[in-house]
Amino acid sequence: MTEVALGNAGAAIRKATDTGRKAFIGYLPAGYPTYDGAIDGVKALVDGGADVIELGLPYSDPVMDGITIQRATETALAGGLRTRDVLSTVEKIAAYSDVPVLVMTYWNPIERYGVDRFAADFAGAGGAGLITPDLIPDEGAEWIAAADKHDLDKVFLVSPSSTDARIKMTTAACRGFVYATAVMGVTGARDTPSELAAPLVARTHAVTGLPVGVGLGISNGDQAAGVAAFADAVIVGAALVKALGDGGPAGVRALAEDLAEGVRREPGAPGDR
């Protein structure tokens, strides 16, 4: 068992579990549908009950994202969003709430900005850490050093195809929580969560005391309740992006409240599945 480094997001997740429920992590991309619209959407997410915010940094080649998030990030980039705008978005959200704000980003934009420079500016804006889906710890020494220097969370991913040795190595490099991708393939809401999720969480819990969050494919409170039965945190992205596009901040808040109710539901309660 590796030493637990709860960091910013991990402390928020642990605070939720200490009260007898699981945590809800909500994703929205910066700059979608507009710079101000994204900030309003995230504020609605906070008001709806999110325990941790995952803010997407739009990138021109989002190969791991499904069509909903791809189109949202295309809109953000077409609107002229730049990395400095993402940092100012973080600053405004951090001023609104003490809910930790982690940025989900492909690695290329961080390299272009400058790894230590980004870490310093991000920490100065009130950011809590990064989720880096295309960076593995073996190749992340520069980021790990910068994150440690600025007390930022380092969230790496494990997947159903990860070996036990890979899961142990990856979790040892994490601070905050471990991100378990519950399906093989790109992101996007699905009718039913993957059956691969629970075994992956069990394998991850076997080697770390860090919280484990499950993402990909969750779109309503019933699904959130099902995942909360075995994971420490439920991560929702594409469904919230769709809610923002269809119904604005009010749509985000309504879905966030449903998801937050799901992670608070007693296992086996009516509506659970």
In a domain? residue 272 = no
Total domains, the chain? 1
Tell me, letter by letter, the H, E, C secondary structure of the chain: CECCCCHHHHHHHHHHHHCCCCEEEEEEECCCCCHHHHHHHHHHHHHCCCCEEEEECCCCCCCCCCHHHHHHHHHHHHCCCCHHHHHHHHHHHHHHCCCCEEEECCHHHHHHHCHHHHHHHHHHCCCCEEECCCCCHHHCHHHHHHHHHCCCEEECEECCCCCHHHHHHHHHHCECCEEEECCCCCCCCCCCCCCCHHHHHHHHHCCECCCEEEECCCCCHHHHHHHHCCCCEEEECHHHHHHHHHHHHHHHHHHHHHHHHHHHCCCCCCCCC
Host domain of residue 257: 6-261
In a domain? residue 268 = no
In a domain? residue 271 = no
In a domain? residue 266 = no
pLDDT at 270: 45
Q: What is the pLDDT along the chain (273 residues), one digit of tens a residue?
A: 555 779 999 999 999 999 999 999 999 999 999 999 999 999 999 999 999 999 999 998 877 778 999 999 999 999 999 999 999 999 999 999 999 999 999 999 999 999 999 999 999 999 999 999 999 999 999 999 999 999 999 999 999 999 999 999 999 999 999 999 976 444 555 555 568 899 999 999 999 999 999 987 889 999 999 999 999 999 999 999 999 999 999 999 999 999 999 999 876 554 443
CATH number at residue 166: 3.20.20.70
Catalytically annotated residues = 54, 65
In a domain? residue 93 = yes
Q: Are 29 and 45 in contact (CB under 8 A)?
A: no
In a domain? residue 190 = yes
In a domain? residue 20 = yes
In a domain? residue 270 = no
pLDDT at 238: 94
